[in-house]
Amino acid sequence: MEALIVVDMQKDFLEPEGKLYGGERVRSVIPKVREAINFSRDFMPIICTQDWHRKDDEEFSLWPPHCIEGSPGAEIVEEIGVKEEDIFVKKRRYSAFFSTDLDLILREKNIRKLWICGVLTNICVLHTIADARSLNYEVGLLKDCTEALNDYDYKYAVHHITNVLGAEVITLETFFSLREEDVG
């Protein structure tokens, strides 16, 4: 079994008035992530992670306060079209596995392969993939459905995810065609 993991597609990162807005570059992944979700929904569960911080979270010694639990900025952007029946995992750290029940959710559903999209490539995506690999999940990164704040961060992360973490790195187009082969 497989799942699509949609990392932190939240208003504070993706909307111009967000607390930690990543700019047009980061915002540009929204249509692709939407496509990935729409396509995958027929084949696998959609699992959305949400950065979800306490007001006094330790992380705010590194970053300005963002994604405070229950705040409008912590909501997932409407454009990607998540549904109530999708699975939501709230997290306080970069990795969606750290102190969450994501591993339990995946094991209950017999999911061994994770397709990952979302933001930011070099922070929450990278750390989530690192933990997924430590837990022996197979991982595929949809490389045009993720973004970082700049070219260096994006390229470094993709290199690390490929060569150090051993994930498969493919485009959304290839992801679509893999599925067509399966169906055919």
The contact set with Zn ion (CB under 5 A) reads 51
DSSP state of 87: E
Count CA within 13 A, CB hemisphere, residue 130.
15
The CB-of-122 to Zn ion minimum distance in angstroms stands at 14
Instruction: Pick between residue 40 and residue 49 the one whose CB is nearest to Zn ion.
Output: 49
Cα distance between residue 22 and residue 150, in whole Å: 9
Exposed/middle/buried for residue 148 (C-beta within 10 Å: 0-12, 13-18, 19+): buried
Nearer to Zn ion, 51 or 144 (CB): 51
Measured from the CB atom, the residue of 15 and 51 that comes closer to Zn ion is 51
Supply the minimum distance, in Å, between the C-beta of residue 8 and Zn ion.
Answer: 8
Report which residue's Cβ sits closest to Zn ion: 51
DSSP letter (8 states) at residue 94: S
Nearest distance from residue 173's CB to Zn ion, in Å?
31
Comparing CB distances to Zn ion, the nearer of 58 and 101 is: 58
